Amino acid sequence: MFHKEGQKIIITTFIITCTVILLANFFVDIPWLRLILQITSLVILVLILQFFRNPKRNAAKSFDEILAPVDGKVVVIEEVEETEYFKAKRIQVSIFMSPINVHVTRYPASGLIKFSKYHAGKYLVAWHPKSSEENERTTVVINTPKFGDILYRQIAGAMARRIINYAEVGDSVQQGEDAGFIKFGSRVDLFLPLNSAITVKLHQKVIGAKTCIATTRVQKENED
């Protein structure tokens, strides 16, 4: 299954691939060159297909958990000052996506969209300290029953050139549902309340709509 945001580029790449293979077969007389052209075009098609894949995932919805919004690796867990919306301290958890990860963004929690804003910006590498503030990005705030307001931010990187965000103010959203896409994406930052119990570690690989990022403090203490 492929994401709808990739339909045009998948169709275009498929047509180009078929054209290259046919033209090379009929007009390139050098066997090794013909083979290289055909294999290269097929490899590019396969890479495009894997990039836009959209595996179906049924999240085990829970108001007491924040789920990973994307696939990738946790690169930041720290207390920071969030300056755009909260203007107060929050726990930041950042997930970096490599080109081979699924790049679908999914809602990390169920609730009501209170804020959704697009920012034009630079295309610094995703792990750059200033990328969260200076790169092209979208900021979304969800009001949740247990955590209150949480914020997630889609951030473009050096290769990303388009962020897709479906969240609109007033929408009621469900945990794990499709929230957008970062084409040739990079990273998503979560900003959570200070009393959240973080359940992941630095460099841990996470799966969107599956891996629990944080729980309510009360739930964690009860389990202990």
The tokens for 154 are 């889609």
User: For residues 141 and 216, which has the higher predicted lDDT (pLDDT)?
Assistant: 141
CATH of the domain at 142: 2.70.70.10
Structure letter (DSSP) for residue 70: S
Within 13 Å and on the Cβ side, how many CA atoms surround 57?
A: 27
Q: Are 205 and 72 in contact (CB under 8 A)?
A: yes
Mean pLDDT of the chain: 87
pLDDT, tens only, 147-199:
999 999 998 865 555 788 999 999 999 999 999 988 766 889 999 999 999 99
SS3 for 109-153, per residue? CCEEEEEEEEECCECCCCCCCCHHHHECEEEEEEEECCCEEEEEE
Whether residues 183 and 160 share a domain: the answer is yes
65/212 Cα distance (integer angstroms): 6
pLDDT of residue 223: 46
List of residues 6+ apart from 145 with CB closer than 8 A: 63, 110, 111
Whether residues 23 and 130 share a domain: the answer is no
Percent of the chain at pLDDT exceeding 90: 64
Catalytic (active site) residue 186: yes
pLDDT of residue 224: 47
pLDDT band at 140 (very low <50, low <70, confident <90, very high): very high
Whether residues 97 and 8 share a domain: the answer is no
Whether residue 209 is predicted with pLDDT greater than 90 in this model: the reply is: yes
Question: Is position 180 within any domain?
Answer: yes
Question: Is position 205 within any domain?
Answer: yes
pLDDT band at 67 (very low <50, low <70, confident <90, very high): very high
Whether residues 44 and 102 share a domain: the answer is no
In angstroms, the first-to-last Cα distance of the chain is 40
pLDDT of residue 222: 44
Instruction: Give the count of domains, the chain.
Output: 2
pLDDT of residue 75: 93
Whether residue 139 is predicted with pLDDT greater than 50 in this model: the reply is: yes
Long-range contacts: 2-5, Cβ < 8 Å, 24+? 2/49, 2/52, 2/53, 2/54, 3/52, 3/53, 3/54, 3/103, 3/104, 3/181, 5/52, 5/164, 5/181, 5/183
Whether residue 219 is predicted with pLDDT greater than 50 in this model: the reply is: no
What is the pTM assigned to this prediction? 0.82
Whether residue 127 is predicted with pLDDT greater than 60 in this model: the reply is: no
Whether residue 101 is predicted with pLDDT greater than 90 in this model: the reply is: no
Whether residue 31 is predicted with pLDDT greater than 50 in this model: the reply is: yes
* Domain span holding position 40: 4-51
Amino acid in position 83? T
Question: Is position 56 within any domain?
Answer: no
Neighbours of 91 (CB within 10 A): 21
Question: Is position 57 within any domain?
Answer: no
Catalytic residue, from 41, 94, 131, 186: name it: 186
Whether residues 70 and 21 share a domain: the answer is no
